[in-house]
């Protein structure tokens, strides 16, 4: 009985001694981990920063070159007539050149028909956008007498849509002007989405037709009044 009690007391002493060693080890490990974590701030985390030097790559640059043929999401733009106002293929332009039309055609590569369906809703939307972006220079009726022109910006004056050159111009020309600018007019590509540009052009055609004088040539006469013609829409 005495031996059993002695063995039990001895085991307890050994266990207590082991815990005295384990606890400092655990505390030391925890303090090491905490000290290491405190020095890894977010601004110091290992990462590749665009346009900065990086010794990991052979060229020393952290930015990697894009794979050849990479197109940003939403920028494929296969429909050339819709996104650029230009004819679908170079063959169309080549045919006009071979037919000898380039001498009289000022806009050989601009589309002549709308790539989207044009209805009253589209023209109403075009009128709304026109009044916001275009009327300040070109005027509410397209005569080039907007408030900007009246306040002194008249050298050169904004174009009137009712001159023969613009009445006979294809719709692709107007799209190109809105997208890339023309003369003193800046580009509106960043303010006006592609589809809204076509709707503005449809409204410009409506303005041109509304200002046609009585007795003007018929709409189907070549090189006469503007018309709203829709192409085969793929949208």
Which of 197, 66, 195, 207 is CA-nearest to residue 145? 207
Global pTM reads: 0.64
Which of 215, 192, 217 is CA-nearest to residue 204? 192
Predicted confidence (pLDDT) per residue in 132-165, tens digit: 999 999 999 999 888 988 888 777 888 999 999 9
In a domain, 24, yes or no: no
In a domain, 229, yes or no: no
In a domain, 154, yes or no: yes
Residue 129, domain extent: 80-210
- Please state the domain count of the chain: 1
- Using CA atoms, how far residue 115 sits from 35, 192, 232, 233, in Å, is 65, 17, 7, 5
In a domain, 143, yes or no: yes
Return the pLDDT at 223. Answer: 45
Q: What is the mean pLDDT of residues 115-124?
A: 95
Q: Which residue has the higher pLDDT, 225 or 34?
A: 34
In a domain, 111, yes or no: yes
Q: What is the mean pLDDT of residues 69-74?
A: 86
* CATH number reported for the structural domain that contains residue 112 in this entry: 1.10.760.10
In a domain, 33, yes or no: no
- Is the confidence at residue 200, as pLDDT, over 80? yes
Question: What percent of the chain is predicted at pLDDT more than 90?
Answer: 37
Look over the chain and give the mean of its residue pLDDT values, rounded to a whole number: 79
């Amino acid at each position: 009985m005495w031996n059993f009690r002695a063995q039990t007391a001895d085991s307890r002493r050994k266990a207590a001694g082991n815990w005295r060693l384990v606890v400092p080890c655990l505390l030391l490990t925890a303090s090491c981990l905490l000290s290491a974590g405190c020095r890894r701030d977010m601004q110091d985390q290992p990462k590749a920063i665009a346009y900065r030097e990086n010794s990991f790559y052979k060229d020393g640059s952290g930015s990697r070159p894009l794979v050849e043929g990479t197109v940003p999401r939403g920028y494929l733009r296969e429909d050339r007539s819709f996104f650029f106002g230009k004819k679908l293929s170079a063959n169309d332009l080549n045919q006009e050149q071979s037919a000898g039309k380039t001498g009289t055609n000022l806009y050989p590569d601009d589309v002549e028909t709308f790539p989207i369906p044009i209805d009253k809703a589209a023209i109403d939307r075009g009128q709304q956008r026109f009044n916001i972006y275009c009327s300040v220079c070109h005027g509410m009726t397209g005569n080039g007498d907007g408030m900007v022109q009246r306040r002194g910006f008249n050298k050169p004056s904004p174009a009137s849509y009712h001159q023969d050159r613009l009445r006979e111009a294809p719709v692709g020309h107007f799209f190109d002007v809105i997208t890339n600018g023309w003369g003193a007019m800046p580009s509106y590509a960043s303010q006006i989405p592609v589809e809204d540009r076509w709707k503005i052009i449809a409204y410009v055609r409506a303005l041109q037709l509304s200002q046609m004088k009585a007795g003007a040539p018929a709409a189907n006469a070549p090189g006469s009044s503007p018309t709203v013609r829709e192409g085969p829409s793929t949208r």
